[in-house]
Structure 1
């Protein structure tokens, strides 16, 4: 079976639907995945970049970004790396003004039984953390 790693622009085209040709090509690959002819893998880093592009380039509201990313992460025909962490992260992202990358770092550290070392005050919104004072 052919394994394919999906780039950010493919997911953005899938969500935004602003390029009919690229959206059609994406759907063709999804159909192949549904038929078990290919495995479409999405890395956590790609989800993070998609969030950034949707927020900064397309100025999409946080709530809409969350819905779109939840939809992508939930799709069974994508092999999403760290799917459980991403699902948890999106629940938190929806309700707190914390960057998605910080939420994922926090959740991965928590899963590993580790703490987070950061100067970022946003980790205070995530409870368990170690933050160095910048003073």
Structure 2
């Protein structure tokens, strides 16, 4: 069974509704995870990035950021992982024009049983499996 690694934008698209289609696709995906139809993990660094983006870019009050983080952590079927491969992260970062945090998330892809779920096409530069929320039926 494929294990899906969720990127920051999956949560941001549900917390900040900027596009009806991506909002619906992300909500549907999270529902599949919650009902254990899709196995997914949450990189701990994604929580940090969600907090930073909500506070600095969207300028949400700290209480709203905390509420968002708690709602992510309470999602049934989703477990937090922090077993990054730092050597692989640095290799990705050295060889590609990709954000360090994306390289860190990509380092969790251990074999062909893992895929990153993200709208960020930079993951494609790392030659790992990537899907978008709309790919799930």
When normalised by structure 2's length, the TM-score is 0.55
8 Å contact kept, 1:2–1:37: no
Higher relative contact order (CA 8 A, sep 6+): 2
Q: In 2, Cα distance between the equivalents of 1:69 and 1:4?
A: 19
Identify the structure with the greater helix proportion: 1
- The higher radius of gyration belongs to 1
Q: Tell me what 1:15 maps to.
A: 15
The number of residue pairs the alignment matches comes to 82
Q: For 2:36, what is the secondary structure of its paired residue?
A: coil
Matched, 1:40 2:58: no
Q: Structure 2 unaligned runs (5+)?
A: 83-137
Deviation at 1:4, TM superposition (A): 0.7
Matched, 1:79 2:76: no
Q: In 2, Cα distance between the equivalents of 1:24 and 1:2?
A: 22
Q: In 2, Cα distance between the equivalents of 1:20 and 1:40?
A: 23
Deviation at 1:2, TM superposition (A): 2.0
Deviation at 1:30, TM superposition (A): 1.9
RMSD of the alignment, in Å?
Answer: 1.5
Structure 1 runs (4+) greater than 4 angstroms displaced = none
